Amino acid sequence: MKHKGAFLVIIMLFSLTRFSLGIGENTEHKASVVIPDVALLSLQHDGNSNIELMGTSSSVAGSKIEMGGEATADIWLNYSSVCHKNQKRKVTATVVGEVPEGVIIKVKADNSVGTGKGELGKTNGTVVLSSNPSDVISGIGSCYTGSGVHNGHLLSYQLEIDEDMFYQASENKLASVHVVYTLTDDN
């Protein structure tokens, strides 16, 4: 009998231990992970973001004015994007305001640099700006460029003239335009 009592105590201890540790029992609940759709864009700069593109007059009679060269104003294009697996986005640029007749404004976005990660967009080189959207960067997937200056795409601007149009329609005046950038779906 002595052994039966000890055996009974061992079985009870085993059962209590098994019950208290939850051995052999499972329970569950559903956990959902929701990843938001993100499309954020900003221009970052140190100081003033305004750029001035100027022509240079000649000091020799009969010479044309020079409109050329590149203006880099240390304006950086930053973006964050989270999209569907096969979805791509792009950055477009549009001029708001009146560009003088015969004047051509171009923008170039350099390749992305800095702390960004993911499927960063590819630059489309130098593009002509107008009142219609021009694709500046394309092929953007889920990524981020990093924020602030020295992250993302450095922008530079170029001014050219169509001599035939310019000399027929130009006048001595200041023309001020805005360049508007938009991050939008590409497909």
In a domain, residue 19? The reply is no
Residue 127 has pLDDT above 90, yes or no: yes
Q: What is the pLDDT of residue 68?
A: 65
Above 70 in pLDDT, residue 153? yes
How many whole angstroms separate alpha carbon 166 and alpha carbon 104? Answer: 10
Amino acid at 1: M
DSSP string, 118-182: ES--EE--EEE--SS-EEEEEEE-SEE--SSTTSBEEEEEEEEE-HHHHHHH--S-----EEEEE
SS3 label, residue 109: strand
- Domain assignment present for 130: yes
Sign of CA dihedral 140, 146, 150, 156: positive
Regarding pTM above 0.85, the answer is: no
**Cβ count within 10 A of residue 50:** 9
Task: pLDDT band for 167, please (50, 70, 90 cuts).
Answer: confident
CA distance 30 to 28: 7
Domain for residue 52, yes or no? yes
DSSP label of 6: H
**Does residue 21 have a pLDDT over 90?**
no
Q: What is the pLDDT of residues 62-71, one digit of tens each?
A: 887 777 666 7
Residue 123 scores a pLDDT above 90: yes
- Among the residue ranges 42-56, 71-85, 119-133, the one predicted with the least confidence is 42-56
Domain count, the chain: 1
Range of the domain at 84: 38-185
Residue 138 within a domain: yes
